[in-house]
A and B are shown apart, each in its own frame.
Chain A
Amino acid sequence: MAGRQKNLAGRLKRLRREGTGAGPAGARVIGSEPIETAGVEPTSANTQSSARKFALGRLRERLQGRGQAYGESSSGPRTQPTCPTQLGPPKDLVSWEATHGTCQGREALLSGTDMHGDWRLQEAHLADPQALAIMAQDPRLLAASSGDALFLDTETTGLAGGTGTWVFMVGLGRFRPDGTFELWQGFLPGPEAEKPFLHEVARRIGEAGTLVSFFGKSYDQHRLLDRFRLHGLPSPFENRRHLDLYHPLKRLCGGQGPGPYGDHKLQTLERHLCGHQRVDDLPGSAAPEAWFDFLRGDPHRLEGVFHHNFLDVLSLVTLYGYLGQALTGRRGDGRPLSGSELLRTLALVKSSCKGRDFSGALRLRGAKDFPEGPLEQVLLLDRLRGECLLRTGATAEGEELLESVHLRAQGAEEPGERVKRSALESAQLLARSAAGRQELVRAAEAHQWAGTWLSRWPGLVSHQHAQERMGIRLDRSLLPRPAPGA
């Protein structure tokens, strides 16, 4: 048997071409003429797979960006970690008996006054639920408070999902009534111990009022759900408030495209917004191997994973606090938030408009001007404010503001694409408003401005359609009607 097995292993190694750099080979479909599928399938699985690969690559980039390459020195001063990093080797893990068997994990208690970056943990208590709800575009968050929040971050064995992807660490942080911060890290010591681990995690999630995560709605939640389902556990996420900080913070920092901080990864944001500089952090992408090594009896990197997960959870707390101050723009002690105020205002106005709360958007320091801001941002803000004014009945004020957007854009030297877009949209809004009031000449004038802008920037299909519709409308209203019966 042993000899045969050795023989088989040799054959397999040869057949699988392992060690040659090329994957297992073969050629093409044998024995059947490839079926002409009229432009469809067999290959669609492959194209789908390449699309999937691409999507996975993107996800990988986004998530791996939570960590930088291990040991790579990051820009900016190297600061000493302000939170305890010496949490002890993994042997300090404690085991306890839970409902479905033995669980492993570790728990740290931090004071509310402990610093993470230049923020104290307890600043999370000052977060304004209205800011959270507007920026996350989720009115249910109006009921959120730091007291009932559970900060969640998982470590998994891969980004692809599927039943073969394990969740082996779950960090859950919450404030206790006495103001201390409890950071529990559940750990899966081996695949055979998954059941009690998951039950414990599900129980804790089930006690949370609001879940707070970073990209968790798209990722962590699904990985956990896959595991829960596999063990027949009901979903603890059902009907639970969930604040995923990723999208609101991305909006707050410039939205689409590269913001002032390049990407919108957790570590970039915590560095720029909360002043936290990680030192010798194990990158998240190394976590799967660290766990596999541990299972194979080599726990050397596991402490790094615990630490990484620990810092991720603390960043959730400070970023939650930061987001919660988006409306005031000031921290508890009166210091301004770091980051661009103009961008923040823009994001708030945009989010309010999206939630169709136009008067709310105007109340959001909408009256404030940003004379020194970059033109493209200033004009966008004014174009949004102009629209809000129109929609709330302040027609004259709104039209005036929209016209000024057009004029300022006209005065700009080499206006960028975004400037042109704001000008075009302002002119179109203005035309529509004037036409609505039967101010046809003014409408025609604005329509012409919009046409000029369209000739300088082609616009999107929606812009072109709007332009066409307005043209037809004006033609009909301005041209003398044919006499009846003619």
Chain B
Amino acid sequence: MIAGNGPEASLKAALGKTKRGTKPVERIVAELKREARWRERIVHWHETPERHGRQKDFPARMAPELIEVLRQRGVESLRAHQATAIEAALDGQDVLVATPTASGKTVCYTVPVLQRLLETNGQARALFLYPTKALAQDQTVGLTAMIEGLGRQQGNQAFHAFTYDGDTPPSVRRTLRDRGHMVLTNPWMLHQGILPNHSKWAELFKGLEYIIVDEVHSLSGVFGSSVANVLRRLVRIAAHYGAHPRFLASSATVREPAAHAERLFGRKVTVVDEDASPAGKRYFAVYNPPLLNPVAGLRASALEEARKVAKVICGSDHQTIFFCGRRTAVEVLTRYLKEGAKDMGLKPSEIRGYRGGYLPNMRREIEAGLKDGSVKVVISTNALELGIDIGALDVAVLVGYPGSQASFWQRAGRVGRRGGPSLVLQLARSEPTDQYLAAHPEYLFAAPRERLGLDPDNLVLLSEQLKCAAFELPFQRAEDGTLAGDPAFGQVPDAAEVLSYLAEESGFLMERERTFFWMADAYPAQDVSLAGGDLDNVLILEQGSERALGETDRESSLVTCHEGAIYQVQGVTWRIETFDHKNRRAYAKQVESDYYTEAQTDTDVRVLRLEECSRRDRADYPVAQPMPLPEGADAFDQVGEDTSVWRGEVHVTTVATLYKKIRFYTKENVGAGEIHLPPEELDTEAFMLTLSSETAAELGASSADGGTAWHALGELMRSTAPLFVRCQPSDLGLSTQVRSTHFGRPTLVLYDRVQGGVGLSDLLLAAQRELLAACLDVVQRCACERGCPACVGPVEEVGAEGKAGVLRLLEHLSKGPALEPCEPAELDAPEDEVISAKDLGPEGHVTRGALLPE
């Protein structure tokens, strides 16, 4: 943020020092370290010393008037990484700046853009993409201020920066299209508004030199894979107008940023990741709420602890930010803190909540209050995680792990005035990931370990995006039938075949003289969502009024939208009266219900094709303490396979059969009903883990109890996966079988819940060893006796022997020699063998439901 360098910044730095002499952060840290009640809760301290930045002169190529504008804004020289990035960008390279929040990334791409505008006398154009509308608007303000600075001293042509989003009035759009030198927008507007109407934007495309993509670490999964294709479309349209723009991107620190950017942009990029900005001393503390009931593994609530510690860390001489996971948590904590304002020496009005759903005016007011120091405490969802300019604060409290290292650092980056110390307090919840981090705080400070899933070539997403691309401009085949000549899709495998398919099977296109023309009465971008198939989502409406109550994805609709299901919104109960399965709508009636419903689903996973495999032999790592064998049975030989992991395509069929009515609080079963819904089918990719029958028997995984432990292991892997793979647990489906029809032995399947998959199975295969080790660690360290929600799950679910069973499995699987890659022995199953649910006989092996409750 440019403002970080401005005169306001020095004002803020001044604010950081108190009249009493001691800096507030130092005082807080001393108190937290001194008092016994905090000492026993804070399990880890980590400090990074004050760092002096490395400066570099302005690049020689920079116009003097541009340097002057920066000087007026308090920038006397550049940080080394900024200078490197600017030089590379002006040199015509694609650049990714992967440095922490507040390291001055905005300068890295605004300077090259303005420099080129000056050099071309206003001919150059730049398109800025931000992940949210608010960010784009925020940045437009900053850019406009710089442009005005330029105009004042130059007296020459004025440049214009505009935000283009859903709120842009139609009357302004035309001016913006023809005269905007810099257009700031978001991926959705680019996808649905700009690209399909590119001829209206000809002026922008003709001069397009830079495409700025902010916060690229947020571009993963279905959304990221779709945006990668939108960028391909953008490059293609630009080429049509004779422009070959460069990418200038910024990212939080992520694992392998170069590889991620390359998949996203389809080309090699220059990565600038050495942070040369100065930083004050930083304190990090990991706070684990005390165990209330060691047997059950129950800890005090993180929210309650946040309230307690607030008395120490909030005050009138500094600013504190709390990050909560949910909107309701924000509201609750805000109320608590306002009630206790007096004890902290604050007025209730100095404490504010901030979350989605607030009106823009109120948000602007809170942001301004944070900048000018009048708001002392803010409690926010991740809405304040991205780069909205609120200046730098002093203390950050993360109530629960935000789910990814990138988010952790974004939130932590909200504190730290220049030259002043700052404190980040991470509060752990009773969940496997949080407890793992409480035990391994080094994870947070080591190099990023999460892998970002991105698969722009996912066939479903690719085919949808190719529809949009063909609508924009016809595709031309080369002599050899490929799309080799296409500037963006030329190297994409299968693109030509997908187009043929769209022409011959779907009828959207028509191929004439080796050219694919869009020929359909439709506007495809309108029906193609960037976030996946939300066209398939089920809307839950109030019967009669058709008021929308909520939305649920296709697979979950089986358990939440069947007739008779109780749907809960903010404490109000609704009963689903009818489910219009075909039109994806469920109609509900408000009822006074003293029970909720729980549907039972059977998930069948059929392996279609195995693509990768690693295994090890029993001889390489015998089971240390085999379970006692039945009387008279012979011990197993140490031959054959021990365990193996796989990646491949699977067909998942989920059927809901019955639902139970369960009384609130008492949890007694008060009835049941049948569900009559067609099965949900999903074709996707999966990660699979198997045990040989012998090893399974020795580990006790073949018995009925063993099956429960096997499933609990799967659940644990699913909830721990976000430590190593950028995803949410709910992005993964789980199915476990003690005797798989495909492998004939215990098998655990974690599948990508997106049709076609977006690469999560690849990442799981690569991360499986780390993942299993982390799972072992979580279970070993957990204080509970026989299982709890923070490890394998509560005793009522996993049984008395559950924790021991999972431990036994993990001890074996996460240790010993690594698995060796091998050829998948099984052949591809022919396409026509895909079975549908109706073929599932009564013996069709089914497993426990793999759906997470909503």
Chain A residues close to B by CB (< 8 Å): 4-5, 7-18, 21-33, 35-42, 44-49, 52-53, 56, 157-158, 160-166, 190-192, 226, 229-230, 288-289, 292, 295-296
Contact = CB atoms under 8 A, between A and B. Distances in A.
Given A27-B753, A29-B221, A37-B134, A164 B196 contact: yes
A33 B200 contact: no
A218 B403 CA distance: 49
B193 to A, nearest CB: 8
Contact of B534 (A8, A46, A226): A46
B471 A39 contact: no
Given A27-B555, A37-B383, A41-B188, 6 more contacts: A24-B536, A30-B753, A30-B754, A41-B133, A42-B132, A52-B526
Nearest to A13: B505
Contacts of A52: 192, 526
Contact of A35 (B218, B520, B681, B683): B218
Given A27-B554, A30-B222, A30-B453, A164 B471 contact: yes
Interface string B418-459: 000000000000000000000000000000000011000001
Interface in B172-228: 186, 188-189, 191-192, 196-200, 202, 218, 220-224
Interface stretch (B15-23, B74-82, B511-519): B511-519
Contacts of B165: 41, 44
Nearest to A287: B521
Contacts, number: 266
B199 A30 contact: no
B60 to A, nearest CB: 39
Interface stretch (B370-378, B494-502, B637-645, B767-775): B494-502
A28 B199 contact: no
Interface in B645-679: none
A40 B188 CA distance: 12
B221 A32 contact: yes
23 contacts: A5-B497, A15-B463, A18-B506, A24-B464, A25-B536, A30-B532, A30-B727, A30-B731, A31-B728, A32-B726, A33-B403, A33-B728, A35-B131, A35-B385, A36-B355, A39-B358, A39-B359, A48-B192, A53-B526, A160-B526, A164-B524, A191-B519, A288-B521
B132 A160 contact: no
Contacts of A35: 131-132, 218, 382-383, 385-386
A38 B355 contact: yes
Contacts of B199: 163, 226, 229-230
Nearest to B136: A41
Interface string B521-532: 111111101111
A230 B553 CA distance: 39
Contacts of B473: 163
Given A27-B533, A40-B132, A45 B200 contact: no
A27 B519 CA distance: 28
A26 B355 contact: no
Contact of A38 (B383, B517, B530): B383
Given A23-B536, A33-B407, A9 B497 contact: yes
A47 B167 CA distance: 12
B754 A26 contact: yes
A24 B506 CA distance: 12
Nearest to A37: B132
B356 A12 contact: no
Interface in B343-370: 354-360, 363
A163 B358 CA distance: 37
A35 B471 CA distance: 30
Contacts of B526: 49, 52-53, 160
Interface residues of B, number: 107
A156 to B, nearest CB: 9
Nearest to A33: B403
A471 B846 CA distance: 78
A207 B123 CA distance: 34
Contacts of B133: 37, 40-41, 44
B510 A295 contact: yes
Sort A-B residue pairs by CB-CB distance and give the 9 closest, nearest first: A45-B188, A31-B221, A30-B221, A26-B532, A164-B471, A160-B523, A162-B196, A31-B220, A26-B533
A64 to B, nearest CB: 11
Nearest to A30: B221
A226 B200 contact: yes
Contact of B536 (A4, A10, A26, A158): A26
Contacts of A23: 527, 533, 535-536
Interface stretch (B262-270, B593-601, B755-763): B755-763
> Counting chain A CB atoms within 10 Å of each CB, which of B200, B504, B752 scores highest?
B200
B272 to A, nearest CB: 23
Contact of A24 (B517, B523, B755): B755
B197 A36 contact: no
Given A9-B497, A53-B526, A28 B381 contact: no
Contacts of B517: 191
A38 B728 contact: no
Nearest to B828: A7
A33 B382 contact: yes
Given A38-B355, A44-B188, A15 B683 contact: yes
A29 B506 contact: no
Interface of B: 131-134, 165-166, 186, 188-189, 191-192, 196-200, 202, 218, 220-224, 327, 354-360, 363, 381-383, 385-386, 402-404, 407, 452-453, 459-461, 463-464, 470-474, 494, 497-498, 500-501, 504-506, 510, 512-513, 515, 517-527, 529-537, 553-555, 582, 584, 681-683, 725-728, 731, 752-756, 758, 760, 831, 834
Contacts of A38: 134, 354-358, 363, 383
Contacts of B189: 45
> Counting chain B CB atoms within 10 Å of each CB, which of A11, A40, A230, A289 scores highest?
A40
A9 B582 CA distance: 25
A31 B755 contact: no
B463 A12 contact: yes
> Counting chain A CB atoms within 10 Å of each CB, which of B189, B381, B402, B460 scores highest?
B460
Contact of B758 (A31, A53, A160, A166): A31
Contacts of B223: 29-32
A5 B682 CA distance: 22
B354 A162 contact: no
B200 to A, nearest CB: 7
A158 B357 CA distance: 36
A23 B348 CA distance: 51
B393 to A, nearest CB: 17
B261 to A, nearest CB: 16
Given A9-B497, A33-B407, A49-B526, A25 B519 contact: no
Contacts of B202: 229
A12 B501 contact: yes
Contacts of B198: 163
B224 A164 contact: no
Contact of B522 (A4, A158, A296): A158
B556 to A, nearest CB: 8
B371 to A, nearest CB: 16
A129 B359 CA distance: 51
A30 B521 contact: no
A11 B505 CA distance: 12
Contacts of B355: 36, 38
Contacts of A41: 132-134, 165, 186, 188
Contacts of B363: 38-39
B515 A192 contact: yes
Contact of A45 (B192, B498, B510, B728): B192
A161 B526 CA distance: 12
B754 A27 contact: yes
Contact of B222 (A9, A26, A47): A26
A37 B500 CA distance: 39
B755 A15 contact: yes
Nearest to B758: A30
Given A14-B834, A164-B518, A31 B726 contact: yes
